[in-house]
Structure formats: C-alpha cells, structure tokens
Chain A
Amino acid sequence: MVLGGDEPTGSLVRPYAVTRGRTRPQLEIALEALVETTARGRSGQFLGGREQKVIVDLCGGRLQSLAEIAARMEVPLGVARVLVADMAADGLLAVHEPTGFSDDPGADESVGTELLERVLSGLRRL
C-alpha cells in the first residue's frame, strides 16, 4: 500500500498498517469471544511478526477476549479482529465463540438457560 509522501491526517491508516491495510477479517469474531493460544502458536515457529508474538504471549496464559486483546495491544478493535482471524486461520489461536442470547431465535433455549443459571450462581458467589 503506497500512500505517497504526505503524512496521513486521518487516524485510520496507521493502525491498519499492521494488517497491511486490510480491514475485513477472515472470520467474524465477537467482542467477547475468547481467544486461546494453541500448541502450534506456543511453539513459536510459525509466527509472522511482532504483533503475532504479542498475541500468542497474551493468550498463552488465561483466556482473553478479542476486546481485551485490542485494549492491551492498544490497537482498534477492527485491527485486533483481522490479526486474530488470520492467526486462527493459521492454527495459531483457537477462538471460542460466546453463547448468544438475545437474537438467536433458532438456538437451543435449554443451553442458554443452563448458562444463565451458571452465571447467576457465579454472581451470587462473588
């Protein structure tokens, strides 16, 4: 991507430089989707750059959501989404989708209800 000599005035170009200008992820990932480094990611052999190393380290301990990755890397959400989707496609990360509630009319209600009950007892234990 060539932008010419002038310093861009918008805030959009710089953050997306790490995704080589791509703003569309390979995989739609929810804000709260949990990301975990896989064994392949941990091996460190297949990492494509500094950002990938940071994400692999970040998600190698406890699970991190996409939102946490973006916040901790100080990159916009969209940038984190492209990076994580690429790495998931390469098998470096596993993405655990959230359990959706509000607009899943076809979803199995009992799954949601069981999860809500777990959330409720978890909150009561706090």
Chain B
Amino acid sequence: MNSPADTSRVTSAKIVIAGGFGVGKTTLVGSVSEITPLTTEAIMTSASEGVDDNNLVPDKATTTVAMDFGRITIDQDLILYLFGTPGQTRFWFMWDELVRGAIGAIVLVDTRRLADCFSVIDFFEHRKLPYLVAVNCFDGKQLHDLQDIRDALQVSQDVPLMYTDARNRESTKQVLIKLVEYVLSMRRTRTVGVG
C-alpha cells in the first residue's frame, strides 16, 4: 500500500474458511497447510474505535476473538493463506477484516447442523464474496442428497456444492481448486458481459 520499498512483486492472497463451531474448519486448514495451523487473536473493546493513549482505561469491556490459519507457498513470491473464521458469527467486526480482499470463501457444513451456516451464507451474499459450500462427511458418510442440501440452504444453482472430507489433504485440495476455478469463471463471464 504505502511502503516505498515495495517495488518487487512479492504478494499474498487469502481464502476464508467459514462454518459453524466444531464443523472442522481448523482440520480442513491443517490438512493442506504447510505449517501447523497457527492462532492469532484480535482484541476488541466496547469502544472499538478511537482508543488511544490516555483514553486507554482498564475497565473497558474487551472481547478476544481467535482465528486459526494456515499457509501454502504457491511460489517463492506468492503465498496463499487460509483463514478460519471465528466460531461465533456475533464477532462480525473481525469478519469484515477477514473477507476484505479475499479470493473467496469455503462454507464448511455439517448436515446435522445446517442452520449454523445460514448467517454465514447471508454475510457472503451481502458482501458479494464468491463462496462454495463444502459438506463435511463425518466418518465418510454422505447422509444427504446434495440437491436437498442446496434447497435447505437456499443457495442458487450457480454456487458450487460438494462433499468433502476435511481431514483429507486431497479432498481439501479439490475444494480449494474448485473455489478458484469458480472465481475465475465468474470473472470471465463478467469480462465477456462487459465486452
């Protein structure tokens, strides 16, 4: 952004991994990351903005939000990060920063708790962030028909929907590939539309 030394082409990109608590987001990140997933914490005060110097008093209400993330070196000068969203969607302040500039998102779904991801999908729809839905098969069981899941989640036919096993590297890789292909195809459609 403002770094004068930044003349090289070194850059990074990120993909957001979202879903309800305990659905396997960190497992998915860990299955493909070159580092053991790390956790970073953000602290939010009730005042949220403008806290500085003398205004900093210890009795403000604070909330700590933790995010797990992993890393994939695509090239020497291009690193891809996978950020897991905080488990509870009430921490929307962190989601804004997470999705800013992201390639897209993977919504990881547990069919036993479909409702957990309604607000997540709403958020991505609202922010116009491309996403796909990956149904995590616990114990390898595909319990539901994908079309039934699509209907229940009320996502359009354009949104990719697929089964995955978050523990499996190859499976996670396929989900990531699918997302990037989807984002690329959306871009191409848009370009054709404009031209």
Contact = CB atoms under 8 A, between A and B. Distances in A.
A97 B74 contact: no
Interface residues of B, number: 63
Contacts of A118: 74-75, 78
A120 B177 contact: yes
Interface stretch (B21-29, B95-103, B109-117, B152-160): B95-103
B39 to A, nearest CB: 6
A119 B13 contact: yes
Given A21-B56, A24-B52, A94 B38 contact: no
A32 B81 CA distance: 7
B56 A102 contact: no
A119 B45 contact: no
B69 to A, nearest CB: 6
A104 B99 CA distance: 12
A34 B41 CA distance: 18
A98 interface: yes
Given A3-B58, A11-B64, A31-B97, A124 B11 contact: no
A102 B12 contact: no
Contacts of B38: 67-68, 71-72
A23 interface: yes
Nearest to B99: A102
Contacts of B80: 119, 122-123
A28 interface: yes
Contacts of A94: 3, 5-6
Nearest to A68: B38
Nearest to A70: B40
A100 interface: yes
A53 interface: no
A3 B39 CA distance: 29
A16 B183 contact: no
Given A76-B42, A97-B11, A115-B13, A88 B79 contact: no
A14 B83 CA distance: 26
Nearest to A24: B52
5 contacts: A1-B53, A34-B10, A116-B180, A119-B78, A120-B181
